[in-house]
Amino acid sequence: MEWFEDWFNTDEYLNVYRHRNEAEARQLINLILKTIDFAPGSTALDMACGAGRHSILLAKEGFNVTAVDLSANLLNVAKHAASEAGVNVNFIRSDLRNFATDVKFDLVVNLFTSFGYFEDDEENFRIFKNVYKYLKPTSYFVMDYLNRYYVEQHLVNRSVDKIPGGEIIQERSINEKRVIKKITISKNGQEQHFLESVRMYTPNYLTRELKKIGFDIIKSFGDFNGNAFNAETSQRIIIIARKMQLPG
C-alpha cells in the first residue's frame, strides 16, 4: 500500500489539516472565478477532491461538478457535506492515474498540493495529460501547489499541535527532491504513525511540462488573495492554464 492510500483514508487526516477550512477554500474559488469567466451550468472536474471543500463551493456557484478521489473515507465526508449544503456533486472513487470519463469539462482543478505523490515523474505528469484530454478546447486548468523554493528555505523541521487527549507531532525533512513528513498522533496513551512524501517540482519545470502537453499559461499567483507569484516569498504557486486551440 502506498503512503497516500493509508494516510488519506484515516479519520486523523482531517484532524491534522483542520486549519485548511472552507474560508480558505472560498478564497481560492473566488480567485479562480475572478480570473476566468464561466457560463452558467459549466462543467467542472475536481481531481483529488478530498473532503469536497472546493467541489461543493463550485457546485454552489452553479457548476455541474464531478469530483474524484481515491480515499473512500474522504469521499464519505464529502458526500455528507454536499448533502448538508444542498448541492449535487458526482463523487467518484478512483486513482487519478486510471480515472476515465467520456465527459469534457470547462474547468479542471487540482488543488491543495494534490500532485507529486508518485515516485516516477512519468506517473505524476500523466495526470496533466489526463487533464488535457478531459478539457474542452480553450478551457481551463487550475493547479494549486507548493513553492519548492519557499519550502527549501523555510522548512519547519518539527511542530507539535495539542489536541484533546494528546498531540500531533510533525517532523519534516527534504530527501533529494522530495519533502517528507513523518506524522505521529499520540492520543489517550496510544500512538499512530503516518507518512507523507511529495515530489517537489520547480515552478519553471511545472509550467514547461504544461506547455509541452499543450497548455498556455494564463496567470500565476503566489497566494489565494491573487498576489503575484514570487519565487522567494510565495508559499504556494497557483497556475491558471488554458488548453490551446488545436489548428484547424
CA torsion, ordered 77, 115, 103, 142, to nearest 10 deg = 100
Ranges of each domain in the chain:
3-147+202-243, 151-197
Q: Which CATH architecture has domain 3-147+202-243?
A: 3-Layer(aba) Sandwich (3.40)
Rounded Cα distance between 3 and 225, Å, is 32
The pLDDT tens digits of the residues spanning 152-193 come to 999 999 999 888 888 989 999 999 899 999 999 888 888 989
The pLDDT tens digits of the residues spanning 25-80 come to 999 999 999 999 999 999 999 999 999 999 999 999 999 999 999 999 999 999 99
pLDDT at 248: 43
pLDDT at 198: 95
In the numeric block, which cell numbers belong to residue 149?
523554493
Average pLDDT, integer, range 106-132: 93
Rounded Cα distance between 241 and 109, Å, is 10
Q: Does the structure show a pLDDT above 80 at 15?
A: no
In the numeric block, which cell numbers belong to residue 106?
470547462
The pLDDT tens digits of the residues spanning 101-117 come to 999 999 999 999 899 99
**Among all chains, which residue has been given the C-alpha cell 519547519?**
156
pLDDT at 164: 83
